[in-house]
Amino acid sequence: MSLERLIYRSTAVSEDCATEFDRIVAVSERNNERCGITGAVTLCDGRFVQVLEGSSERLDPLLATIAQDPRHTDVHILGRWAVTGRLFPSWSMARADAARADAQLRSWLRSDDYGVTLVGALLTLTGLF
């Protein structure tokens, strides 16, 4: 079973996306721990950015569920790679605090063009790096 890392961005539907974000983190922590998924998520300017790590056998069904989640739209996979180890091994879902982001990080979080860079940004915002 090979390990993969993926990152996606989506747009929040609710105007109260901060409350939805709290719910998403809580549910993701429980579900991901049960499925062997690790990662991090942030909310920046009404957009979710999430890194997920796990086997393709676990990530593919999770992505299908994420794509059908009515709390967000415009789910875009920004990158998906085979990896040899996890960046978030102790976190079923780390909460990355976008309030800590400087202007450059915020511009990356809003972009579709920085898949690998966004992984590093989420590491920075979780305080793990």
Computed from CA positions of residues 10, 67, 83, 41, in that sequence, does the dihedral angle turn out positive or negative?
A: positive
pLDDT of residue 113: 59
pLDDT of residue 129: 47
pLDDT of residue 4: 94
Domain boundary assignment for the chain: 3-126
- Whether the CB-CB separation of 2 and 54 falls below 8 Å is answered with no
pTM of the model: 0.81
Q: Please give the helix or strand (H or E) that residue 68 lies within, else none.
A: helix 56-68
pLDDT digits (tens, 9 = 90+) for 17-33: 777 788 888 888 998 99
pLDDT digits (tens, 9 = 90+) for 46-96: 888 889 999 999 999 999 999 998 988 999 888 898 989 998 898 898 887
Calpha distance 115→30 (Å, rounded): 26
- Name the residue with higher pLDDT: 39 or 120: 39
What CATH number belongs to 3-126? 3.30.70.100
